[in-house]
Amino acid sequence: MPSADTTRIPDLERELRELISKISRGCESALGKLYDRMISQVYGLALKILRSKPEADEVTIDVFKQIWDKAFDYTPDRGTPSAWLITLTRSRAIDKLRSDTKRRSIQDALHDDIPSNIDPPDETTETREKRALIEKALSELAPKQRESIELAYFHGLTQTEISARMNEPLGTVKSWMRAGMTRLREIIGAGY
């Protein structure tokens, strides 16, 4: 005969307690059932705290992974199974929020510490001069030659992709690039 305490526990809490007990013994199907019963509550709370679907998805996955890994940590005398799940979710979501906030504030602080008038370390005087020479040489090309070369070298597109983007035949794009590169060699070779 069930005790008075057992009969007062709502059916959901009893079911969750049984599932968590099975999960602690390695029962994967119990985790699936727990997931089906509690996904909307776990995801809903994570989304409410984080206000980002991808981050809520990540926290939801973390919570169910933690349940799988630590189901043996649940003790009924410390609260209901649903309260335990909600506490896990809330803790994970707040940890994620703090972590993201801290990361952003560190990035902002690092960005703020770099004076805007200082060139990046890899931008030497020689590099700046070469870049200026190339930019000036590119400005001397016909517009279609310049555009096709910029798409290839600065945007990483293939000649086929350039052809599609510019809505021109592939052979035409190849001709523009060949002529443009020849002209660039002449301009840069002459020291401009």
For residue 175, give the CATH number of its domain: 1.10.10.10
Report whether 20 contacts 81 (CB < 8 A).
yes
**For the segment 47-58, what is each residue's pLDDT rounded down to a tens digit?**
998 888 999 999
> What pLDDT, on the 0 to 100 scale, is given for residue 134?
80
In a domain, 117, yes or no: no
Whole-angstrom distance, CA of residue 26 vs CA of residue 71: 9
Indicate whether 19 and 83 sit together in one domain: yes
Indicate whether 185 and 141 sit together in one domain: yes
User: Residues 5-29: what's their mean pLDDT?
Assistant: 84
In a domain, 118, yes or no: no
Other CB atoms closer than 10 Å to residue 172's CB: what's the count? Answer: 13
User: Residues 72-101: what's their mean pLDDT?
Assistant: 87
> What pLDDT, on the 0 to 100 scale, is given for residue 42?
94
Indicate whether 153 and 178 sit together in one domain: yes
Other CB atoms closer than 10 Å to residue 56's CB: what's the count? Answer: 22
Amino acid in position 28: E
> What pLDDT, on the 0 to 100 scale, is given for residue 65?
95
Mark which of 81, 112, 143 sits at the end of a domain. Answer: 112
The count of structural domains within the chain is 2
**For the segment 27-43, what is each residue's pLDDT rounded down to a tens digit?**
999 999 999 999 999 99
Q: 159: number of CA atoms within 13 Å, CB side? A: 11
Indicate whether 161 and 99 sit together in one domain: no
Indicate whether 162 and 72 sit together in one domain: no
Is pLDDT of 192 > 60? no
Both tokens assigned to 61:
């996955």
In a domain, 145, yes or no: yes
Both tokens assigned to 192:
């401009």
In a domain, 99, yes or no: yes
pTM tops 0.75: no
Is pLDDT of 185 > 90? no
- Domain containing 39 equals 4-112
Segment among 15-19, 97-101, 157-161, 163-167 with least mean pLDDT: 97-101
Amino acid in position 125: T
User: Residues 80-96: what's their mean pLDDT?
Assistant: 90
* Higher-pLDDT residue of 118, 159: 159
User: Residues 108-130: what's their mean pLDDT?
Assistant: 59
